[in-house]
């Protein structure tokens, strides 16, 4: 998708369709749309006056432009009450609008921002939200349907009218296109069935994706894992016939074009590690899951995919920091070779781990990923995973759960989430929880009491970060959204975390 800020008058904008966001409870036409409405013989005024369009959140009413404008339709989009509108919700409303326009076959859309809406945030924040909202509408779950009508039409050109076209806002539009494209790319991977997306295929997809980006890719195979004594990752992989892999992607700021302009950070600068869970299918293993909803477990590599998406975006955005992306990937399957409850394994960091529940496999593979990142010189660690049913029950698909050991890094993650327009909510790792993962036979165990499950998983991961500032993002709820009751991003994989991590790399590079 291409996108840019326009200074054209709304009624002169060339597009297949115009999108006009309107607040709830506004009975008058926004002044910016008066000339447009005149051409439409007052149709919008009438709809508002008769309360046939109320501006309720995600309400959509298409109005035909009667061939009086260079655009064919004006789509009114409700953005709800002003007090409730933030940049997350604006993205959601525009993503919904974008989807409807695509289904009608429109490719070129222009968003008209009335002053009242534009004033809700800075021009840059608005530009980002509008561009990402529309950009993220370019995704479908039905990619394997043999008759797939909607996949063909993508929104290819976006114009935004009503923002001061300053440099920062224009730059924000460009960045937002990169972020939306990277997110959509990995949403397709998360959506892919596990029979077509094995660890080996994951590696192939990453190889293709990093071509020409300047990113450096290394793939560890099972022999490498044995040499590095990655006993936790290998333990999970044992039950599967598909060979495990570990994907390692490096972004080197001093190789980036920007380094020549601004001066690079030497080897003493921070190294951000992004570690993502890449379980291509989670059956639970010997602690097998119930059949109900097990098909969802094809998306258990959402964290790993998000790391790759973030690395792709980072390669284009060129933050001033070295970043290493680490994605341990395997299936979690039951078999005669599979690990059993009660088994004890030794991870690459040397800690012994008692496996209480083979379905708590994500933390096992992440532990070896984190240890690898530490050994590779990571100074800051962010891990991301579809890790616990507990976080899904707590936050639903609405927000990412965050846990950490360092308030400064957590603050940066929160700022990154604001820029990204993704909701991140911190949950505790207080010392009060200490002891939950103590094992009788080994150093730690991978599962414990039936409560505080997301915190327990975080405590387990914290054992491996060697005191580095660390944030754990649990996206088990936010990675997939198909709750028809909610007015949020509709159906399927969301690409949760891609934008947060890419924005974090930027902030950390500037701090």
Q: Which residues are designated catalytic? A: 289, 363
- The CA distance from 466 to 472, in Å, is 14
Of 126, 271, 286, 476, the one binding ligand BES (CB under 6 A) is: 476
Q: Select 163 or 297, whichever has its Cβ closest to Zn ion.
A: 297
- Please identify, using beta-carbon distances, which residue of 10 and 362 lies nearer to Zn ion: 362
Rounded-to-5 percentages of helix, strand, coil across the chain: 40, 20, 40
Q: Is 3 helix (H, G, I), strand (E, B) or coil?
A: strand
Please state the closest distance from residue 299 (CB atom) to ligand BES, in A: 7
Binding letters toward ligand BES, positions 277-306, x by CB under 6 A: -----x-----------------x------
CB of 362 to Zn ion, least distance (A): 4
Quick one: which segment of 137-145, 147-155, 275-283, 488-496 binds Zn ion (CB under 5 A)? 275-283
Q: Could you say which of ligand BES, Mn ion, Zn ion, none residue 388 binds, taking C-beta under 5 to 8 angstroms by partner kind?
A: ligand BES
Contact footprint for Mn ion (CB under 5 A): 282, 359, 361
Site for Zn ion, residues 317 to 376, rule: CB under 5 A: 362
178 binds ligand BES (CB under 6 A): no
Nearest distance, CB of residue 235 and ligand BES, angstroms: 14
Closest alpha carbon to 365 in 316, 319, 330, 321: 330
Q: Could you say which of 338, 353, 360, 378 contacts ligand BES (CB under 6 A)?
A: 360
282 in contact with Zn ion (CB under 5 A): yes
Kindly tell me which of 287 and 488 has the beta carbon lying closer to Mn ion: 287
Residues 369-388 that bind ligand BES (CB under 6 A): 386-388
Report, in Å, the least distance between residue 248 CB and Mn ion: 23
Strand ranges of the sheet holding 15-22, from the earlier edge strand across to the other edge:
2-6, 157-161, 108-112, 15-22, 71-78, 60-64
Phi/psi at 493 (5° precision): -70, 140
Using CA atoms of 490, 495, 497, 498 in order, give the dihedral in degrees to the nearest 10.
Answer: -140
Q: Please tell me the distance from the alpha carbon of residue 3 to that of residue 173, in angstroms, as a whole number.
A: 7
Q: Exposed, middle or buried, 45 (CB in 10 Å: 0-12/13-18/19+)?
A: middle
**To the nearest whole angstrom, how small is the minimum distance from the Cβ of residue 456 to ligand BES?**
7
Task: Give the integer Cα–Cα distance in Å for 364 and 379.
Answer: 21
Query: Which residues 433-492 are close enough to bind Zn ion by CB under 5 A?
Result: none
| Residues 418-457 contacting ligand BES, CB under 6 A | 447, 453
Which residue's CB atom is positioned nearest to Zn ion? 282
d(CA 332, CA 277): 12
Taking CB under 6 A as the rule, does residue 461 contact ligand BES? no
Q: How far is the CB of 213 from ligand BES (least distance, A)?
A: 29
Which residue, among 488, 479, 511, has the nearest Cα to 189 in the 3D structure?
A: 479
How many residues line the site for ligand BES (CB under 6 A)?
16
Q: Is 132 in the site for Zn ion (CB under 5 A)?
A: no
Residue 453 beta carbon to Zn ion: minimum distance, rounded to whole angstroms: 12
Distances (CA, A) of 346 to 285, 355, 369, 375, 434: 19, 11, 14, 17, 21
Q: Based on CB atoms, which residue is closest to Zn ion, 270 or 278?
A: 278
Helix, strand or coil for residue 42? coil
Under the criterion CB under 6 A, does residue 357 sit at the interface with ligand BES?
yes
Spatial distance between the Cα atoms of 94 and 97, rounded to a whole number of angstroms:
5
For residue 15, with 0-12 CB atoms within 10 Å meaning exposed, 13-18 middle and 19 or more buried, which class applies?
A: buried
Q: With CB under 6 A as the contact rule, which of the stretches 30-38, 74-82, 356-364, 417-425 interacts with ligand BES?
A: 356-364
Only segment of 82-90, 153-161, 293-301, 307-315 that touches Zn ion (CB under 5 A): 293-301
With respect to ligand BES, which residue has the nearer C-beta, 240 or 390? 390
- Nearest 5°: phi and psi at 336? -65, -20
* Residue closer to ligand BES, measured from CB, 162 or 362: 362
CA distance 500 to 504: 6
Q: Please identify, using beta-carbon distances, which residue of 165 and 334 lies nearer to Mn ion.
A: 334
Measured at the CA of 82, the angle between CA 485 and CA 7, to 5 degrees, comes to 110
Residue with tokens 């995919």: 305
Choose the binding region for Zn ion from 37-45, 296-304, 365-373, 441-449 (rule: CB under 5 A).
Answer: 296-304
Q: Give the Cα separation of 307 and 8 in Å (integer).
A: 38
Binding flag, residue 396, ligand BES (CB under 6 A):
no
- Give the integer Cα–Cα distance in Å for 172 and 21: 20
Residues near ligand BES, by CB under 6 A? 282, 300, 357, 359-362, 386-390, 392, 447, 453, 476
Residues near Zn ion, by CB under 5 A? 279, 282, 300, 362
């Amino acid at each position: 998708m291409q996108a840019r800020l326009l200074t054209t008058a709304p009624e002169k904008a060339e597009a297949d369709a115009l999108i006009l966001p309107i607040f709830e409870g506004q009975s008058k036409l926004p002044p910016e749309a008066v000339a447009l409405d005149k051409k439409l013989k007052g149709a919008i005024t009438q709809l508002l006056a008769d309360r046939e369009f109320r501006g309720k959140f995600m309400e959509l009413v298409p109005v035909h432009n009667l061939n009086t404008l260079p655009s064919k339709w004006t789509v009114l989009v409700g953005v709800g009450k002003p007090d409730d509108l933030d940049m997350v919700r604006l993205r959601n409303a525009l993503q919904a609008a974008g989807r409807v326009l695509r289904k009608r076959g429109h490719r070129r859309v222009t968003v008209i921002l009335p002053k009242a809406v534009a004033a809700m945030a800075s021009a840059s924040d608005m530009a980002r939200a509008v561009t990402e909202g529309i950009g993220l509408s370019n995704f479908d779950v039905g990619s394997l349907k043999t008759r797939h009508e909607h996949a063909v039409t993508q929104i290819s050109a976006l114009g935004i009218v009503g923002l001061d076209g300053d440099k920062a806002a224009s730059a924000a539009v460009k960045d937002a296109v990169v972020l939306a494209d990277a997110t959509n790319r990995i949403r397709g991977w998360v959506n892919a069935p596990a029979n077509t997306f094995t660890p080996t295929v994951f590696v192939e997809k990453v190889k293709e994706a990093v071509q020409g980006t300047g990113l450096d890719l290394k793939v560890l195979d099972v022999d490498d894992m044995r040499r590095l004594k990655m006993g936790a990752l290998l333990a999970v992989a044992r039950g599967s016939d598909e060979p495990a892999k570990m994907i390692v992607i490096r972004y080197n700021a001093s190789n980036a074009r920007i380094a020549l302009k601004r001066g690079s950070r030497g080897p003493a600068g921070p190294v951000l590690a992004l570690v993502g869970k890449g379980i291509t299918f989670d059956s639970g293993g010997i602690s097998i899951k119930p059949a109900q909803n097990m098909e969802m477990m094809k998306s258990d590599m959402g964290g790993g995919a998000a790391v790759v998406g973030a690395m792709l975006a980072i390669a284009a955005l060129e933050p001033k920091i070295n970043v290493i992306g680490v994605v341990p990937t395997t299936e979690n399957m039951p078999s005669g070779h599979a690990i059993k409850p009660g088994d004890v394994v030794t991870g690459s960091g040397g800690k012994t781990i008692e496996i209480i529940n083979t379905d708590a496999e994500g933390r096992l593979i992440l532990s070896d990923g984190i240890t690898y990142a530490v050994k590779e010189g990571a100074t800051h660690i962010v891990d991301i995973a579809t890790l616990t049913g507990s976080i899904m029950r707590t936050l639903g698909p609405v927000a990412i759960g965050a846990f950490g050991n360092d308030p400064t890094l957590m603050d940066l993650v929160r700022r990154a989430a604001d820029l990204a327009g993704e909701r991140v909510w911190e949950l505790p790792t207080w010392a009060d929880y200490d002891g939950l993962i103590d094992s009788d036979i080994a150093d730690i165990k991978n599962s414990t009491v039936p409560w505080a499950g997301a915190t327990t998983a975080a405590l387990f991961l914290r054992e491996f970060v060697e005191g580095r500032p660390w944030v754990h993002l649990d996206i088990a709820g936010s990675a997939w959204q198909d709750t028809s009751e909610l007015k949020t991003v509709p159906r399927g994989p969301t690409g949760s975390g891609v934008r947060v991590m890419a924005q974090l790399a930027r902030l950390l590079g500037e701090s």
